């Protein structure tokens, strides 16, 4: 087996202001499937095509943002190994018992140098995508709502993104795919990292305030599906930040938009495959506009300033 260690993003726990309004949005507009509610009031969702029980968890709060972002690792031995490696790197870890989240095994929780809470886990119940494991049908997009393939990545904002990079590379085995330099040509403004062959599994931007969420992103199958998503957003009067357009960085097509609580989400398609032997791509400060939004070739005001 070639893929070991950290496999992929697993679940994002997002804070919302009004649960009823949010459940309606995440099911009817996003087209996610509600898979459960727990005794603390959290509501769990997966995309139609995801096989594990949940990838998005909503928690009611008086402020929007992200509680935690989790990665699934290969197995329990890997979880133990990574916990040891985190501690050896000077990171304090905490064990969250199995069952604290619905259908999810024990988690290893820790803080990034940017103040974000990250979790690793090895087990989440496979509830399937409705097509079974023998002679399955293909997925036909005939549903209401955007219906993404998967919860794909997140972009976080915080101060010490250099510390984050070191931790993800040296401890968790991620590789750097792309980076944007500040005016000095030395300091990273932003980095895009992967634990797989995707163009990114997590990204981060240097920011004055720690622990902030820029967006959680969902993958679509095609550029046509990105346009369809934009139509669904307009029909439902969803607040769109920018798009449909394309990123220079990762080369994905994209729409940024907001959930009813003001959390920025993204739906995207495309991007290239990355392997650990490939050189990271560097964007200069002068070309950052084209890097972020390839068609507009400039940043919009919201990109650097609106976070939850």
Catalytic annotation, residues = 153, 200, 215, 247, 256, 266
Provide, rounded to whole angstroms, the least separation between the CB of residue 124 and Fe ion. 23
Please tell me the distance from the alpha carbon of residue 4 to that of residue 75, in angstroms, as a whole number.
9
Compare residues 105 and 270 and give the one whose CB is closer to Fe ion: 270
CB 264 within 8 A of CB 213: yes
Phi-psi region of 254 (alpha: psi -120 to 50; beta: other; left: phi over 0): beta
Q: Which of 244, 266, 293, 308 binds Fe ion (CB under 5 A)?
A: 266
Interface region with Fe ion, contact rule CB under 5 A, candidates 63-71, 77-85, 226-234, 266-274: 266-274
Please state the closest distance from residue 128 (CB atom) to Fe ion, in A: 27
SS3 82: helix
Q: Which residue is nearest to Fe ion (CB)?
A: 217
CB of 203 to Fe ion, least distance (A): 6
C-beta of 191 vs 217, nearer to Fe ion: 217
- Kindly state whether residue 152 participates in binding Fe ion, applying the rule CB under 5 A: no
Residues in Cβ contact with 287 at an 8 Å cutoff, skipping those fewer than 6 apart: 248
Closest distance between Fe ion and the C-beta of residue 89, in Å?
Answer: 27
Site for Fe ion in 179-218 (CB under 5 A): 217
Q: What is the 3-state secondary structure (H, E, C) of 219-278?
A: ECCCHHHHHHHHHHHHHCCCCEEEEEEECCCCCEEEEEEECCCCCEEEEEEECCCCCCCC
Footprint of Fe ion (CB under 5 A): 217, 266
């Amino acid at each position: 087996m070639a893929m070991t260690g950290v496999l992929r993003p697993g679940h994002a726990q997002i804070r919302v202001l009004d649960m009823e309004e949010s459940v309606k949005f995440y099911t009817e507009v996003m087209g996610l499937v509600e898979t459960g509610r727990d005794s603390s009031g959290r509501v769990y969702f997966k995309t139609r095509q995801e096989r594990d029980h949940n990838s998005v968890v909503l928690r009611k709060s008086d402020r929007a943002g992200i509680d935690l972002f989790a990665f699934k690792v290969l197995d329990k031995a890997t979880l133990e190994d990574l916990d040891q490696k985190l501690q050896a790197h000077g990171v304090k870890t905490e064990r969250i018992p199995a069952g604290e989240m619905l259908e999810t095994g024990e988690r290893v929780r820790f803080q990034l140098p940017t103040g974000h809470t990250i979790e690793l886990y090895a087990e989440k119940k496979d509830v399937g995508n409705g097509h079974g494991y023998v002679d399955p049908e293909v997925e036909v997009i005939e549903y209401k709502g955007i219906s993404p393939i998967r919860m794909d990545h997140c972009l976080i904002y915080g101060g010490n993104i250099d510390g984050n990079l070191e931790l993800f590379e040296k401890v968790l085995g991620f590789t750097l795919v792309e980076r944007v330099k500040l005016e000095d040509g030395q300091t990273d403004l932003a980095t895009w990292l992967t634990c797989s062959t995707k163009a990114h599994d997590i990204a981060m931007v240097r920011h004055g305030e720690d622990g902030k969420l820029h967006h959680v992103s969902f993958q679509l199958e095609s550029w046509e599906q990105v346009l369809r998503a934009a139509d669904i957003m307009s029909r439902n009067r969803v607040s769109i930040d920018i798009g449909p357009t394309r990123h220079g960085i990762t080369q994905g097509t994209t729409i940024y938009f907001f959930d009813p609580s003001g959390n920025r989400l993204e739906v995207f398609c495309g991007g290239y495959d990355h392997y650990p032997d490939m050189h990271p791509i560097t964007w200069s400060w002068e070309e950052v506009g084209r890097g972020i939004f390839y068609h507009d070739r400039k940043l919009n005001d919201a990109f650097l300033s609106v976070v939850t």
